[in-house]
Amino acid sequence: MKQLPIVLTIAGSDSGGGAGIQADLKTFAALGVHGASVITCVTAQNPKHVMRVHPCPPAMVQGQIEAIFDELPPAAIKTGMLYSAGIIRAIVASLKKHQKRAPLIVDPVMISTSGKPLLKNSAINVLKRELLPLAALVTPNLDEAARLTGKTLRSVEDMRQAARDIHDEFGCAALVKGGHLRGASEAADIFFDGKTELLLTAPFVKNVRTHGTGCTYSAGIAAYLALGQPLPTAISNAKQYVTQAIAQHYRVTGHDVLEHFPK
């Protein structure tokens, strides 16, 4: 009988189905792993706006994690929207209880595509000081990397330095995503783990407005890690996967949506 590796996503629910838990689970299904989920927040959102956020009590987040580890020990874990210091601390406490932790991918979700804050200011230092030291990889976009480093990123060289600064300060590998870099001719990301540096590029897909690409990218990395790939290979394959998902997007009532099952 076929056995699938388990990947756990710890993130918020997107009622519009384009990002968050929903995007993660679609990614896991597409890449051939079993997706388990811990919901940190329920959001009222659609492709244009995040209108309301209802965080789960930290004890409930912790309970969900314990339920998964009891019967479905994951081969990889990713986090997305965490929202509050209390939720982050509940996650940290749960993960520290398990000596043989799976690799943790932290997507430091701070703000929605529409501009809604998804991580309280009071939680940023907790994420930096308590969660990132447990991570194998953090995957900030340009704005998130600026919040983590205190520096504005305007070029690929700035991204290279940011990846090194993040690694030096928090001890985890960094993938700094440059998809919104002004004036760039292609979507460039920089990976650095203390030894290996990679520049990953893909052509821009013009005139497409999707959300959930960051969720999908980090979920893809976690899935490929669970399938046994080393981190640089997992990142490269996830980059190809999310590029395909954008290029083969479909339309729903006038909105562009990622194709998580590209042909």
Residue 162 lies in a domain: yes
For tokens 């659609």, the residue is: 46
Domain of 151, CATH number, reads 3.40.1190.20
104 close to 78: Cβ distance less than 8 angstroms: yes
Rounded to whole angstroms, what are the CA distances from 35 to 60, 136, 199? 19, 19, 29
Residue 21 lies in a domain: yes
Task: Provide the residue range defining the domain that includes 105.
Answer: 6-257
Side-chain-side CA neighbours of 24 within 13 Å: the count stands at: 30
- Dist. CA 57–CA 50, nearest whole Å: 20
Residues in CB range of 242: below 8 A, 6 or more apart: 213, 216, 217, 220, 258
3-state DSSP helix/strand/coil % of the chain, to nearest 5: 40, 25, 35
Quote the radius of gyration of the chain (alpha carbons, Å): 17
User: Which residues carry out catalysis?
Assistant: 177, 210, 212-215
pLDDT for the residue 183: 64
pLDDT for the residue 178: 86
Residue 43 lies in a domain: yes
pLDDT for the residue 205: 78
- Residue segments in the chain with a per-residue pLDDT below the cut of 70: 99, 180, 183-184
Strands 76-79 and 104-106 come out as parallel
* Tally of domains in the chain: 1
Residue 68 lies in a domain: yes
Nearest residue to 188 (alpha-carbon basis) of 175, 174, 169: 175
Rounded to whole angstroms, what are the CA distances from 26 to 105, 156, 222? 17, 31, 13
pLDDT for the residue 27: 98
Residue 1 lies in a domain: no
| Both tokens assigned to 32 | 């051939």
Residue 70 lies in a domain: yes
117 close to 110: Cβ distance less than 8 angstroms: yes
Residue 262 lies in a domain: no
| Both tokens assigned to 249 | 């997007």
- The pTM (predicted TM-score) of the whole model is 0.96
Residue 152 lies in a domain: yes
pLDDT for the residue 116: 77
Rounded to whole angstroms, what are the CA distances from 184 to 85, 154, 189, 201? 35, 10, 11, 11
